[in-house]
Amino acid sequence: SHIMSEYGRMTDTERDQIDQDAQVFMRTCADAIHQLRAEAHRGVLSAQVKEHRTAVLDFIEDYLKRVCKLYSEQRAIRVKRVIDKKRL
């Protein structure tokens, strides 16, 4: 509250830029996980190491999916508010 009153509200342009940057970042993370998954088993002989790496990558991928879902929900709320404002 104090911070918002001191600096004012974000503009729609700033929000759009954040949305665009967030989408690029999420795509970059998904690509990095995919590449890491492809490289994770190269040269590894131990089944335990392979299993561990797979589990870690599954966890990271699941976390990214949850972050993306949360982002999508927040974006949907923002879009709904914009539509509601236009109706008024």
Q: What is the residue extent of each domain of the chain?
A: 21-87
pLDDT of residue 80: 92
Please determine, for residue 43, whether its predicted confidence score (pLDDT) is greater than 60.
yes
Distances (CA, A) of 70 to 25, 39, 73, 76: 14, 29, 5, 10
What pTM does this model have? 0.76
d(CA 49, CA 31): 22
Q: Which of 43-47, 55-59, 66-70 has the lowest mean pLDDT?
A: 43-47
Give the per-residue pLDDT at 44.
78
